[in-house]
Structure 1
Amino acid sequence: MASAAPRVGIMLRHVTAPGGVTVFTKRVVRYLLTHPHGIDYHLLYSEEAQREVFEDLPATHVVLADGARLRWDQVTAPRYAERNGLALLFNCKFSVPLAAKVPTLIVIPGREQLAMAHVFPWYNRWYNQLLVPAFCRSATALITHTEIGREDCIMMGARPESIHVVPHGVDRYLRPASEEAKTAVKRKLGLERPYILFLGGITPLKNIGNLLRGFARVAKTHDVNLVLAGFKRWSFEGELAPIQELGLQDRVKYVGYVPDEDLAALYSAAECLALPSWYEGFGIPIVEAMACGCPVVTSSGRHAAPEVAAGAAVLVNPADPESIAAGLSQVLDDPKLRMELIAKGLVRGPQFDWDTTGRRTAEIIRSVANAPAARPGVLETPARVLVRGGASVGAAVTEKIARGFNKQ
């Protein structure tokens, strides 16, 4: 008699939030559901509205309504897993149930939550510093997106043999756009001048302030604007404040979220992509821009961007507006360099493919679900969160963190 298909739960509390984690989640989960290979997937949502994302695909869709996000991760989801015989719990957003009695698989791009702790709201700082290293040590297996991400996970306590490097992909529609498409998107967004493009979340991690300071120098000598595209997140007002301070109101345009159907043309029409982030766990816009024939200026340092760019971008010092200005000016002023970057990018960008990402993730899921091993884990009780070195915080502090975290 054939054995029953392994049941795998996918935690999707974050699936309607903006950001690169959600892009990865949507692309990978869609691949998994269309290529199940004998896995019975249970999609676990925290709100009814989240069902719409994958409702057209075959799976067991379960809404576990619980407004307390930390409790949903640590109690509600693992309780469902245990009661329904799940062989694995998978979460694309760096959180796993520490006390789960089933194997767990987590995605952690890197250690930005710790390396850049000061830019996060206080409740995120506590949560990240106390729990993210515990998640790394507790998870049966981890996925990260780069080799630098692998090093970061080891630094946070993950066992090297438990880590799998699975890069992001690039959507196949992201290729150089036609002149007609570029003209149409510029008309739609009211972009009259040539422009440098920033695309991503408006957060302190993205270093918008120094980008604006660098661009202010470029704007004095070049007939070019800066277009900021993406969603607003925490501290966005402070990040955009230099526009007024530097007198750039007529040279910087915030266009907000750009729908997928306009992205290829927006990238293709740009003079370059500027992404001088303090830290990137991968940097999806880097490879998307390259695939569209858009030169890239991104940041140096110990994070994923230099690895992802792989010599096909201009690297700048994110702490130095002069360096950012120099990098942008290089691309604007040197036609030979520009063409070299475009050529290298058109090779590099399409190397990232969501089918490959999905297939590799599916292999890891099958491996863990079909051969569950004892989890090294972190002992967990409602009153204590154990962290490296045996330090702990009491229930009152944990509850305070949870209240702040649940406001997000």
Structure 2
Amino acid sequence: MKIVLSIQSLKYPLTGIGRYTLELAQQLAISPEVERLDYFNGDKFVPGLPERDDMETAPSAAASGLLAIKRQLARSKLVLESYRALKALRRSNPFAGHEGQLFHGPNFYVPDFPGPRTVTIHDLSVLTMPQFHPPERVMYLGKEIEISLQRTNTIITDCQAIKDEVMQRFGIAEADVFVAPLASSEAFRPREAAETIPTLARYGLQHGGYTLYTGTIEPRKNLVNLIEAYEKLPSALRAQKPLVLSGHRGWQNEAIMDRIERAQSEGWLTYLGFVPEDDLPLLFSGAYLFAFPSLYEGFGLPVLEAMASGVPVVTSNRSSLPEVGGDAAIYIEPEDVPALSRALERALVDDDWRRDAIARGFAQEQRFSWEKCAADTLTAYRATMAR
């Protein structure tokens, strides 16, 4: 096969989609089925994947200011439509010489490529749950998804739940939608306290001494309910195993941050902000419990990362999460705060359940791998070329 892979999502900070793109690119590069692999970075071809140092440099104050201006401009429908038209113009003929290849857009979008095309749709939340996104994102990404689906020969999703959504919403045949589940990195594994202490000490944490959440601080993640559920735990248990939140501040986080600050002042919650990629596996390994009561996920990679780290999981019974967690997690209705609180308490104090959940978690995580993700993707590629 001769593949063109879009790598536009490989930017700092490395998001879940960025991680997926990077791992997939690395697997495709070593596949004997792939005769040629070219990287397309938005409007031009580049000779290779960006170096890690290029992706992990924290944004400067000037760059942060520019990002704020871009976000402000993005609220204008006129600006969005002008940007879309300019992008189409810039991409009008960047593919000369690549007509015989297959184009894969791993981040919702495919351009008007002169050859077979497939796209990864990670979720449809901008269409099905627009209240969880800024209006400008709904306006832009919603239209991009619909345009991409009109252009593609096949579609790839991360899980069966999103495949079902895509088929139902757009009336697409099952044979045209392929599932390629994600996987956790080898960096996520159990560790003894001696290995985690140097990192955890920088955050004021103790090995096995906290419940962890990682992810964006935004409404879709259901953090207000998580904090309220944790507050209902016995005070001695909260003091012994405080709640630790990690992740950058996302959209509409004001109410969440107010609740975080109040809990921090009471001494049973710590907000770490954005944590560098190298520190995350140690943060997972040092946790006693992982809590992820999200209202909607396209996959829910942190659940796998926790299980790979030997950490029990409490998560939602929504969207993709039961597929990812299998029989290893406690599932709750995410808007039922008392039920969430009871689940958290059981996961913290029931030693028999914890031992079983850790063993089941290891077995569940082993069902996923980036090699399998690439193999499933290649199956989609073969079907795309046959179309």
Give me the TM-score of the superposition, normalised by structure 1: 0.78
Specify the alignment match of 1:287 in structure 2. Answer: 304
Unaligned runs of 5+ in 1: 1-5, 57-66, 374-408
**Contact map agreement 1:7 1:85 (CA 8 A) in 2:** no
- 1:160 matched to 2:174? The reply is yes
**Contact map agreement 2:132 2:219 (CA 8 A) in 1:** yes
| SS of 2:9 mapped into structure 1 | coil
**Contact map agreement 1:282 1:308 (CA 8 A) in 2:** yes
Specify the alignment match of 2:66 in structure 1. Answer: none
Structure 1 residues 219 and 42: alpha-carbon distance in aligned structure 2, compared to 1, 3 A threshold: farther
**CA separation in 2, counterparts of 1:329 and 1:76?**
55
Q: Give the one of 277, 280, 287 matched to 2:294.
A: 277
Specify the alignment match of 2:372 in structure 1. Answer: 356
Structure 1 residues 45 and 333: alpha-carbon distance in aligned structure 2, compared to 1, 3 A threshold: same
**What fraction of aligned residue pairs are identical, expressed as a percent?**
24
Specify the alignment match of 2:363 in structure 1. Answer: 347
Structure 1 residues 22 and 205: alpha-carbon distance in aligned structure 2, compared to 1, 3 A threshold: same
Specify the alignment match of 2:189 in structure 1. Answer: 175
| SS of 2:93 mapped into structure 1 | helix
Q: Name the amino acid aligned to 1:183.
A: I
Deviations 1:137-162 (A, max 9, x none): 43211111111111011023133211
Specify the alignment match of 1:15 in structure 2. Answer: 10
| SS of 1:327 mapped into structure 2 | helix
Specify the alignment match of 1:135 in structure 2. Answer: 148
- 1:92 matched to 2:106? The reply is yes
**Contact map agreement 2:122 2:298 (CA 8 A) in 1:** yes
- 1:250 matched to 2:267? The reply is yes
Find runs of 4+ consecutive structure 1 residues off by over 6 angstroms. none
**Contact map agreement 1:82 1:102 (CA 8 A) in 2:** no
The farther-off stretch of 36-45 and 74-83 is 74-83
**Contact map agreement 2:108 2:121 (CA 8 A) in 1:** yes
Would you say how many aligned residue pairs link Structure 1 and Structure 2? Answer: 353
**CA separation in 2, counterparts of 1:150 and 1:262?**
33
- 1:184 matched to 2:198? The reply is yes
Structure 1 residues 69 and 54: alpha-carbon distance in aligned structure 2, compared to 1, 3 A threshold: farther
**CA separation in 2, counterparts of 1:191 and 1:25?**
32
Structure number with higher relative contact order (C-alpha < 8 Å, ≥ 6 residues apart): 1
Specify the alignment match of 1:232 in structure 2. Answer: 249
Q: Name the amino acid aligned to 1:356.
A: K
Specify the alignment match of 1:35 in structure 2. Answer: 31
Deviation at 1:93, TM superposition (A): 0.6
Structure 1 residues 352 and 366: alpha-carbon distance in aligned structure 2, compared to 1, 3 A threshold: same
Specify the alignment match of 1:319 in structure 2. Answer: 335
**CA separation in 2, counterparts of 1:258 and 1:55?**
19
Specify the alignment match of 1:399 in structure 2. Answer: none
Deviation at 1:39, TM superposition (A): 3.1
**CA separation in 1, counterparts of 2:100 and 2:83?**
21
Deviation at 1:134, TM superposition (A): 4.2
**CA separation in 2, counterparts of 1:82 and 1:152?**
35
**Contact map agreement 1:176 1:291 (CA 8 A) in 2:** yes
Deviation at 1:294, TM superposition (A): 0.2
Deviations 1:200-241 (A, max 9, x none): 122222111211111222263412211112233222344322
Structure 1 residues 25 and 75: alpha-carbon distance in aligned structure 2, compared to 1, 3 A threshold: farther
Structure 1 residues 109 and 46: alpha-carbon distance in aligned structure 2, compared to 1, 3 A threshold: closer
| SS of 1:234 mapped into structure 2 | coil
Deviations 1:316-345 (A, max 9, x none): 121122222111111012111111111110
Deviation at 1:358, TM superposition (A): 1.9
Unaligned runs of 5+ in 2: 53-69, 71-81
The farther-off stretch of 86-95 and 69-78 is 69-78
**CA separation in 2, counterparts of 1:358 and 1:120?**
30
- 1:309 matched to 2:325? The reply is yes
Give me the TM-score of the superposition, normalised by structure 2: 0.82
**CA separation in 1, counterparts of 2:182 and 2:364?**
13
**Contact map agreement 1:110 1:148 (CA 8 A) in 2:** no
Structure 1 residues 45 and 131: alpha-carbon distance in aligned structure 2, compared to 1, 3 A threshold: closer
CA RMSD of aligned residues (A): 2.7
**CA separation in 2, counterparts of 1:202 and 1:360?**
32
